[in-house]
Amino acid sequence: MTITLQDCRERDAQDPLRALRDHFTLPAGQIYLDGNSLGVAPTAAAARVAQVVQQEWAQDLITSWNKAGWVDLPLRLGNQFAPWLGAHADEVVFTDTTSINLFKVLTAAARIAAEDGPARRKLLTERSNFPTDLYIAESICAQHGLQLVLLEPEEILHALDDDAAILLLTHVNYRTGAMHDMAKITAAAHARRILCVWDLCHSAGAVPIDLHAADADFAVGCGYKYLNGGPGAPAFVWAHPRVVNRCAQPLAGWFGHAAPFQFTPHYTPAEGIRRYLCGTQPILSLSALQCGLDVFSASEALGGMEALRAKSLALTDLFIALVESRCAGHGLELATPRAHEKRGSQVCLARAEGLGVNGVGSGAYAIVQALIARGVIGDFRQGDGGVGVHKDILRFGFTPLYVGFEDVWNAVEHLRQVLETGEWHEPRFHQRNAVT
């Protein structure tokens, strides 16, 4: 069946989540399909940050730690978002960055694993994991005498053995959008007494997550993608109650102290997730992040995560169908799984080497740049020679809070025109930017 522009407009008119788009500032003339890299600005964010600057900081000054509740903001935001992670009250805090929080939980996991079974010397992870995860894992292995083992997705279950101490995985792969079965993999790892650490950067706020149902051990995730917290927004960290108090995390800052204002010379970690705090918290950033979380709270009356997931799948199904029907013959291949249970909220199109200008490269980068020049914002990820990820990737994220079905139609129409006219051959689209 042929899909028309009018079909897409009718789906937008019937969309129960359509009103949520009004919570965001969307630049005129742009179709934003990069929320899996940086979410758009909530309309409330500018006024909220101004209030913090002009009143809470400029007028109330240091009294705002008590008067405005700054001191509890990391935990309050954690409690606000915890249900979206399948976490309980007082189990999540927003603080620091994903990389720093991953360092904290991997160190804790390494210490726990050493207590439980010192003979276990391997940290397992996916070879195509996001690079910061791999770099932090390398650092942890060097510090704790562990061996880092890089695996292809199909090798993970077979690699769970009695030599493994920790399994670190990203729930949704940043390059392909492929989603792991968290409950299945965690259960298999626990059967071999392996601790499971999950990175939720590309799934939190976009796909259903239930950390307790999956029985995970630790989880981290960022605030600036699907949570729309702003560039560099604080990340979050979660630890299961059975492990949260087993050891102190390595960054023993005063906000993680059991009694920070007693100013004792020696460190005593707080009970529970507060021990994963470190230094003085970034109140301006946390306040902006709250505006993003408030939209999730507003969406609960419209069906919550079930409705968001249904729309996400509908948007990505539509994009795939339109690309395959309208952009055939231009070397694009679907890199994202078709099966709903294996797909996050993004669609990645691969383009092989040799399809670029004069047979050099793939042209994927230039195609993305040509789309950006037309106001269709996606991004590019370079292939790295590994199994299944050796091809360059055109990556498009579909945030159901603000992306509509007509947006999808128009984005694919621009892609079709860029490919059919050869517009991407223009030299200006081949100039590499620092951020791709």
Bridge partners for 237 per DSSP: 93, 220
Q: Which of 130, 255, 319, 402 does the annotation list as catalytic? A: 130
Secondary structure of 270-317 as H, E, C letters: CCHHHHHCCCCCCHHHHHHHHHHHHHHHHHHHHCHHHHHHHHHHHHHH
Let me know if 226 is a catalytic residue: no
Smallest CA-to-CA distance from 248 within 278, 281, 215, 219 is with: 278
β-sheet bridge partners, residue 422: none
Residue tagged active-site, from 224, 319, 380, 398: 224
The catalytic position among 274, 381, 395, 402 is: 395
Rounded to 5 degrees, what are φ and ψ at 237? Answer: -140, 140
Active site annotation includes 130: yes
Q: Which of 11, 104, 120, 225 is catalytic?
A: 225
Please give the Cα distance from 349 to 393 (Å, whole number).
Answer: 6
Contacts of 238 (CB under 8 A, 6+ apart): 82, 85, 87, 91, 92, 211, 218, 219, 220, 273
- C-alpha to C-alpha distance for 168 and 138, rounded to whole angstroms: 12
User: Rounded distance, CA 61 to CA 122, Å?
Assistant: 49
* Cβ-based neighbours of 385, under 8 Å, separated by 6 or more: none
Choice among 15, 34, 133, 199 that is catalytic: 199
- Could you give the CA distance from residue 316 to residue 350 in angstroms, rounded to a whole number? 16
Q: Which of 167, 188, 157 has the alpha carbon at shortest distance from 113? A: 167
Instruction: Based on the residue annotation, tell me whether 395 is a catalytic residue of this protein.
Output: yes
For residue 404, give the nearest of 302, 330, 318 by alpha carbon. 318
Distance CA 145, CA 166 (A): 13
By annotation, the residues acting in catalysis are 130, 199, 224-225, 395
